[in-house]
Amino acid sequence: MRRTDRLFELIQIFRDGRLKLGRDLASQLGVSLRTLYRDIETLVASGIPIEGERGVGYILREPIFLPPLNLSHIELEALQFGMELAKRSADSELNIAANSLLQKVHAVLPANQQGIDRRWPMSVYSDNIAADVVHLPILRKAIAARRKLDLRYRSLAGAVSHRIIRPLQVEFWGQVWTCTAWCEARDDFRAFRIDHIEKVVQLDNPFSAEKGKRLEDYLRLLDCEDID
């Protein structure tokens, strides 16, 4: 968790007005006591009315009000719809992040928009979004870390091959998920159906943003896209 996110979460925890023990806060945030104490000192220095001391506990003595986030109703609809899609995916980390993001947004909405999430005109119920994408978490993490992946892949024709790829992007097409990548075996871009990946292992060696093998290079060649 980034420090800015952790500080925001710490404020949310304190808002119930109850005494908090340092060790409990540290455990809840997944940090050391030393880090927790530094975070509290940062919040106090920024004007958050937290009182207490190490070994005794901390409490928020006055209510705090974060600046309201002014979003139009259609912007809130778009956000809610996107988060519903994320929550329906097979990626548990995305699910948790989507719920956390919605809570943070609703915490800083103006009073007249609080609770508006109960009246959304759109919902997502399709199980197709989560079907056959058990490899989505490792693909997403490999893209972020720029790590090569070792795949055992079954083509649309049923042929099984071994591939080393540089994953660039994951796409959802309504019925299937794909992963656009630079395939070292083909020395070209390929879009792999995620439900056809039989096994995937992240390799230790990272890859660089090499010209001609980047996502932006692929986007220029979309008319030549080829799904194995």
Which residues make Cβ contacts (< 8 Å) with residue 169, sequence separation at least 6? 143, 179, 180, 215
- Spell out the per-residue pLDDT of the chain, length 228, in tens: 678 888 888 888 888 788 999 999 999 999 999 999 999 998 888 888 889 888 889 998 876 655 556 667 777 777 877 887 777 766 778 778 888 787 777 766 665 555 554 445 555 555 555 555 788 889 988 998 999 999 999 998 999 999 999 999 988 887 788 899 999 999 999 999 999 999 999 999 899 999 999 999 998 887 665 544
CB 140 within 8 A of CB 91: yes
Same domain, 148 and 220: yes
The stretches of the chain forming alpha helices (DSSP H) are 3-14, 22-29, 33-45, 73-87, 92-107, 136-145, 215-219
Count of helices and strands (H, E) across the chain: 7, 7
Would you say how long the chain is, in residues?
A: 228
For the chain, the domain total comes to 3
Name the domain boundary from 60, 83, 100. Answer: 60
For the whole model, what pTM was predicted?
A: 0.56
- Looking up residue 21, the CATH number of its domain turns out to be 1.10.10.10
d(CA 10, CA 29): 8
